[in-house]
Amino acid sequence: MITDDDVIIVDEMRRDLSVAERFWLPEIARGLSVTIRHLFKFNKRVTVQYPEIRREPRLQEDLTDPRKQINASRYRGVHRLNRDAQDRVACVACFMCATACPAHCIHIVAGEAPWPDREKYPVQFDIDELRCIYCGMCEEACPVDAIELTYEYDLVGTSRQEMIFDKDKLLEVFDRTVHLKPRKNPKITGYAGTGRPIGGPQRPLGDQS
């Protein structure tokens, strides 16, 4: 909690300006010296030259330079559907995410699960990535931590249809991101086993092949 003692009031107006400040020229010279120093910091630019240089996703504990790296555990990019220990889709088709979604971009068709440990599973699970606002509320709503947002941000396609990700595509995203973003809480439902071991098919970010 913020107490009165924590508040620092910057009260410039109480202070009269000094003679040098009212003369302006010394202060202007000071300002110019600051800007010229920044002008020559050629290798310390903050802009990332995007297509050639990409921010590299890292595990939270490996983060060293937040300008050049993305915290893979926290970024809200493309969705994925998690697999459980038996490589099945972890989703139980409860519709919590579709209900929570403010953009109404999740469409689920539920069916009776072929497996004994749950009642339903998603026959069809589509996310319209163009409609999605990447707020992360689906991830928060999910009771079995099956849907998660990943660190992938360069999402491109040539048609609207292509940007509607179905179940297979979302599982693919899981396969290629799980090594940098492991399943959050694989034991939460008791039936999901211990999660998928690290070391699935991997490929570097940005490799579109």
Partner 1 sequence: MVEFFKTQLAFSAALMLVVIAAMMGTVAYSIYFERRIAGWIQDRHGPNRVGFFRLFGNFHFWGLGQPIADGLKFFLKEDIIPARVDRPLYLLAPVIVFLVALIGFAVIPWGGVVDLDGDGAWDVHCQVANPDIGLLYLLGVGAMGVYGAVLGGWASNNKYSLYGGIRAAAQMLSYEVPMGLAILVVVVTTGQLRLEGIVLSQMGPGNCWNILVHPLAFIVLLTTQFAETNRTPFDLAEAEQELVGGFHTEYSSMKFALFFLAEYTHIITNSAFIAVLFLGGWHLPFIPGLQAGDTSIGAMMFKMLVLGIKIVALIFFYMWVRWTIPRFRFDQLMRLAWKGLVPVSMGLASLAALMVYWRVPAGTIVAKVVIGMLGNGVVLAVVVAVLVVTRGKVTGRQLSMPQIGLLAPAKPGPPSPRGSAS
Q: What is the distance in angstroms between the CA of the first residue and the CA of the last residue of the chain?
A: 51
Of the candidate residues 22, 199, 204, 208, the single one contacting partner 1 (CB under 8 A): 22
**CB of residue 155 to partner 1, shortest distance in Å:** 22
Residue 206 interacts with partner 1 (CB under 8 A): yes or no: no
Question: How many CA atoms lie less than 13 Å away from 56 in the CB half-sphere?
Answer: 10
Residue 156 interacts with partner 1 (CB under 8 A): yes or no: no
Rounded distance, CA 175 to CA 198, Å? 10
**Which residue stretch of 23-31, 78-86, 102-110, 184-192 sits at the interface with partner 1 (rule: CB under 8 A)?**
23-31
Rounded distance, CA 168 to CA 208, Å? 17
Residues in 86-115 that interact with partner 1 by CB under 8 A: none
Q: Are 201 and 173 in contact (CB under 8 A)?
A: no
Q: Are 198 and 179 in contact (CB under 8 A)?
A: yes
Of the candidate residues 14, 64, 197, 201, the single one contacting partner 1 (CB under 8 A): 14
Phi, then psi, of 111 in degrees rounded to 5: -140, 170
Residues in 47-66 that interact with partner 1 by CB under 8 A: 47, 49
Q: Are 149 and 136 in contact (CB under 8 A)?
A: yes
**CB of residue 20 to partner 1, shortest distance in Å:** 9
Of the candidate residues 39, 158, 204, 209, the single one contacting partner 1 (CB under 8 A): 39
User: Of 41 and 208, which has the nearer Cβ to partner 1?
Assistant: 41
Residue 1 interacts with partner 1 (CB under 8 A): yes or no: no
Rounded distance, CA 41 to CA 34, Å? 11
User: Of 54 and 76, which has the nearer Cβ to partner 1?
Assistant: 54
Strand partners, 79: 149
Which residues bind to partner 1, rule: CB under 8 A? 4-5, 9, 11, 13-14, 16-17, 19, 21-25, 28, 31-32, 34-36, 38-42, 44-47, 49
